[in-house]
Amino acid sequence: MTKVRTPLSTEQWLKKTGKEKIQAFQDTFAKTFGISLCLLDLKGRPLTIWSNSSLFCHSILHDRRDRCFQDRNIVIRRVLDNRKTYAGKCYMGLTVFCCPVIYNREIISVFYGGGVYVQDENNGVPNRIDNSIAVLGADDLTKIIRLLEDTIGIFNIDKGTERTENKRKNELESSVFFQNKLSPRELDIANLIISGKTNREISETLYISEKTVKTHVSNILNKLEMKDRIQLMLFCQEHNIQGGE
């Protein structure tokens, strides 16, 4: 009889992951890039204390709470519907973004952040309502979002497959050829390469951007002194090293 896995509640996930750890990461990330950031549940309620929240947003929230919550819930709904990060402007013209945190392949919470002006390449700095609000270039914001996506991928662990993944990783680690050459993340990706996964499929499996996967694949091949992923797959087939999802 197949055992049905009971979904983990948001509160259980937060306790298991470590609220203090997430808060510390959130505070550092927000301060480093000059953005506001908070972990929210799927109804838009804060699970952590807002990091680097602007006084301007505080004043607007006090006067127009319902409108702010309405905008926030619309953004969260788009993320839930599309299962990917969404970025856009709130009704005050500030850019916000929302990144899903996925556990056991289910969206368990979201990081909601931004509260900045995004500089237009053609028109330059936008008209600013409040000079205390940060201005970012569009490329800078994209890099920040990608870094956040890749970082929260650390939390996206499927416990149901963790034992199997560790077994496959150990096959690579136990091989003399792979010993001390690849990082734990590179071993994860090497496993998926060996199983024939494309970069897009690896991206979807590990919940990281496809651009990050490409960087990891290039680093893996350089470290192993191989010209392409086909050579890696053939090597592992020859030495009976198996990979998988």
The total domain count for the chain is 2
Q: What angle do CA 158, 110, 65 make, to 5 degrees?
A: 160
Q: Do residue 97 and residue 201 come from a single domain?
A: no
What pLDDT is stored for residue 111 in this prediction? 95
Domain boundary, last residue among 128, 155, 182: 155
DSSP 175: S
- 107 lies in some domain: yes
- Of 124, 140, 155, the one marking the end of a domain is 155
Residues 139 and 212 placed together within one structural domain of the fold: no
Residue 95, beta-bridge partner list: 89, 116
User: What are 233's two structure tokens?
Assistant: 């797959």
Residues spanned by the domain of 209: 159-238
Burial label for 146, CB within 10 Å (0-12, 13-18, 19+), is: middle
Residue 125, pLDDT score: 58
What integer pLDDT is reported at residue 1 of this predicted model?
38
Question: Does residue 2 fall inside a structural domain?
Answer: no
pLDDT at site 186: 85
Looking at residue 197, which CATH number applies to its domain? 3.40.50.2300
pLDDT at position 4, please?
43
Instruction: Compute mean pLDDT per 10 residues along the chain, 245 residues long, and list them.
Output: 55 84 91 92 92 72 77 92 89 88 85 86 60 81 88 62 49 65 83 86 83 90 89 79 60
pLDDT of residue 76: 94
Are 150 and 163 part of one and the same domain? Answer: no
**Do both 88 and 197 map to the same domain?**
no
Question: For residues 97 and 114, is the Cβ–Cβ distance under 8 A?
Answer: yes
Same domain assignment for residues 218 and 149: no
Q: Do 70 and 167 have their domain in common?
A: no
Nearest to 118 by CA among 145, 150, 89: 89
Q: Are 37 and 70 found together in one domain? A: yes
Question: Same structural domain for residues 140 and 163?
Answer: no
Last residue of one domain, picked from the residues 116, 134, 155? 155
Same domain for 149 and 185, yes or no, is no
Can you give the CATH number for the domain in which 147 is found? 3.30.450.40
Predicted TM-score (pTM) of this structure: 0.62
Is residue 110 domain-shared with residue 131, that is, in the same domain? Answer: yes
